[in-house]
Amino acid sequence: MKKNISGNIDRPIDNIKEDFLDRYKFVEYIYSILDNLPLNSNIRVGIEGPWGSGKSSMMKLLHDECKKSGHFTAYFNPWQFNDWNLAWSGLVSAIGKSLCEGKNGKLNPFKRKLYIKKGAENILRVLHLTKNIPYADIASKIGDLLISPLLSKLDETKQHVIDYLNVELGDKRMFMFIDDLDRANEQVMYNLLMFLNEVIDFNKIVYVVGLDIEVTKFTLKDRIKDVDNFLEKIINWSFKLPQPSEFDWNVYTGRQLESLMGGVKRENLLSLMNVLPRNPRKLKLFLYYLDGLHRGFLGRFDNDELHWDIVYLIQLLRIEFPKAFESILGNKILIEDLAYGTMREGIDRHSSQKRSNTQEEPKWKGLLKSNLPKEENAKIERLFKLYEAIRNSHKIMSDETMSYHLRVIDSPDLVTWKEYRSLKRKLWDSPEDKLYDKVKEVMFSNTSYKAVIWQREFLNTLLMDRNKIFEDAIQRKSDPEIQSELKQVFTLNKICKLTFEIDDLFIGDNPVYNIDLFKAYVEKFKQWAHFNRPEHLYKKLRDDEKGILLTLTSKMKPWASELLIVLGIGRYEPHFSDGPDGAFAPVKNEMIKILSDSLVESLLNRFEQFDGINRLWPSNENKTSELNILFDPKSSFHNSSIYEKLNETVSKISEKPCIRDNFYEYTSMLFHAALNPTSFSTTEKARDLLKKKDFISIIWDGTIGKGLNLRNVGSLQDYREKLRKICDVDDLLPLPEWWDKVLKGEQVK
């Protein structure tokens, strides 16, 4: 087991042996400057750098250097206190251990006196805290010093403290390290800086203050008008942390990787050095995060199962830009662009039709920028850099594979290829007569409360494996080699068919075979449907796939409406396009017919149900497929046997008034579609239905079979007048005797 060098992730380094960024040279430089000052000097030094850049580590090394030379040292962390009274007592306690800090510059006497007066009452309350701390004498003297301005004895009392320190320190200095000042609240930060500047600016004292200067300015901006000038008066010298060299970063990253035990892929990680965080703490936290993933979830994957550099880049983007990551997950265009956008751009650059002298912003940049929160938009260039790194990390990848990598961490129920291969081997090794039992055993091997999700994932992985094997097969050079590979595809097809025999996979409120899994079957089987020649290689396989899809469609008839939407909302006329869509169209048509036939009876029943047709209006997207069946003259609904049943329904109008209402709704929708294109029918289809006189006669009789009010009659009359341009409405839509009376406003029984 490797030794964990880093220990607590967030702690600063302990000694020079852990200084992988070579910061000790900078420490020596600062110390040499401070140590060569006159002994009686008082100075305030700022160590500047953003969060995580290594300020605390550098201050720890400087502390050790001071300590090694025999100087007094102590630490004070103001961010630990949310109240100035407590912070003051903590500071006095630290000074009492042998540290003080001071400043040469003075604010004007009025402001100084006002500041000390406001603090005096609080100081009196906390002076009792100094009785039991180390160096209680100096703590008590500092307390006297704070009260002395109110007694007009500030200079006299300060001299007493200086004299006391001269005796205590001898030929040494005091170095007080005030770390993470920028993390303190506004009250503590402001009071502490004033305290350093006005009260404890003693000789022989060096204050070393670690801070993020921009954060400090932001915190004080509402209290101090000229923050820059204020800080310049407080901090005498500022030292900015130097940027490590490329060599130092490589060493640091390598040593951090050595301390991890979870299996982070070193080579893949180091290949991303140009985009990894250039902040020691952020980098360390990211590496520990990856280490945790490998110890847990990612440990389930084989080394060759994922593109690890892409996984790491995606996780880095996910951590730094959570909202942008969510946007990518939900945007098919961005997923496709990440998968093969670079290749597509390469083709465009070599196309004469695409050449242009103008530089347009890539579409993906515009999509990424939309709806970004303010804090992420402020780092937009960093987002672009990470996105491009993912985009350029491979030559070409399917959008499905890219989506898999994007979602891998957030899908704990994912079936890894390692796990899938193990289960597949069990099925492969099973005797023919025992295969069904083995399939059933595998499908129910997961007994958790999320077993349904796992079962779907297993079947999805099987479908991906099937297509991958087929893709490998067509790359073979000889027919025997292709046929050998296709045998594996047939075996996987057989496993699919055997799952259809397990009724439990199709029942319940949340069945394994749901709409998404049906869609996966359709997409996977369509992908290679155009590979149908030579017939001696592919015909048998295509017929086998057709049988699988038709069987699955029949098993899932209860979801016919939703499945029809997946298949194209009832448009099952032949499709003559080339490629997978064209080759798959005949199978799709048969699937649609099976589902359409299963809906016909329920559609007939709707004419006898209250509000049965009105509930199908286009605003209900889930019912679009039913509308297509009702308004498609070639659908299963439009044949003589159905018309006979419709006619029987019309005869029941006197018993069920809602029948007339349903026919009225249907007729109004048909007339509207014949005049204007709709989402559920084309004008051509609607007009073809108007030519079916036997059908129109039935629905018109149903519409006027019982009296209508003036509004309904007026609406139908308006349609009749508009339809005169395309058909003989007087012959097609004869008027009942009461029609004109209603239009005249007369009462009709």
What is the largest distance, in Å, between two alpha-carbon atoms of the chain?
Answer: 123
Cα(624)–Cα(561) distance, rounded to whole angstroms? Answer: 8
Mean pLDDT, the chain, whole residue set: 83
Q: What is the pLDDT of residue 499?
A: 97
Express each pLDDT in 336-378 by its tens digit: 999 888 777 766 555 545 445 556 788 899 999 888 888 899 9
**CA-based nearest residue to 520, from 504, 499, 539:** 499
Q: What is the pLDDT of residue 12?
A: 80
3-class secondary structure, 177: strand
Residues 266 and 398 in one domain: yes
Residues 110 and 251 in one domain: no
Residue 468 lies in a domain: yes
Task: Measure the CA angle with vertex 614, ends 608 and 617; round to 5°.
Answer: 135
Q: What is the pLDDT of residue 622?
A: 62
Task: Measure the CA angle with vertex 94, ends 90 and 100; round to 5°.
Answer: 120
Query: Domain boundary at 240, 259, 290, which?
Result: 240
Which stretch of DSSP H or E encloses residue 178? strand 174-178
Residue 603 lies in a domain: no
Structural domain harbouring 391: 246-352+361-407
Q: What is the pLDDT of residue 114?
A: 38
Residues 436 and 393 in one domain: no
Number of H helices, E strands in the chain: 35, 5
| Model confidence, pTM | 0.65
Express each pLDDT in 430-461 by its tens digit: 999 999 999 999 999 988 888 998 999 999 99
Express each pLDDT in 476-508 by its tens digit: 989 999 999 999 999 999 999 999 999 999 999
Residues 229 and 259 in one domain: no
Cα(427)–Cα(500) distance, rounded to whole angstroms? Answer: 16
pLDDT at 124 over 50: no
Share of the chain above pLDDT 70, in %: 84
Query: Domain boundary at 240, 274, 302, which?
Result: 240
Residues 629 and 735 in one domain: yes
Q: Which two tokens stand for residue 119?
A: 């603090």
Residues 521 and 502 in one domain: yes
Residues 423 and 403 in one domain: no
Express each pLDDT in 172-205 by its tens digit: 888 889 888 888 888 888 888 887 777 667 788 8
Residue 484 lies in a domain: yes
Residues 163 and 35 in one domain: yes
Q: Cα 462 from chain centroid?
A: 26
Torsion angle (degrees, nearest 10) of CA 525, 528, 533, 535: -20
Angle between helices 535-555 and 479-500 (to 10 degrees): 10
- Chain length of the chain: 749
Residues 393 and 427 in one domain: no
Residue range 689-698: average pLDDT? 95
Residues 214 and 335 in one domain: no
**CA-based nearest residue to 666, from 614, 720, 609:** 614
Query: Domain boundary at 195, 225, 240, which?
Result: 240
Cα(132)–Cα(145) distance, rounded to whole angstroms? Answer: 19
Q: What is the pLDDT of residue 462?
A: 96
Residue 652 lies in a domain: yes
The H-assigned helical ranges of 607-736 are 624-631, 640-650, 657-675, 683-690, 693-704, 710-723, 729-732
Confidence class for position 109, pLDDT limits 50, 70, 90? very low
Residue 18 lies in a domain: no
Residue 339 lies in a domain: yes
Residues 236 and 254 in one domain: no
Residue 8 lies in a domain: no
Confidence class for position 407, pLDDT limits 50, 70, 90? confident
Residues 232 and 252 in one domain: no
Residue 576 lies in a domain: no
Query: Structural domain tally of the chain?
Result: 4
The CATH number of whichever domain residue 149 belongs to comes to 3.40.50
- Tell me which residue has tokens 């951590």: 319
CB atoms within 10 A of CB 374: 6
Cα(85)–Cα(124) distance, rounded to whole angstroms? Answer: 10
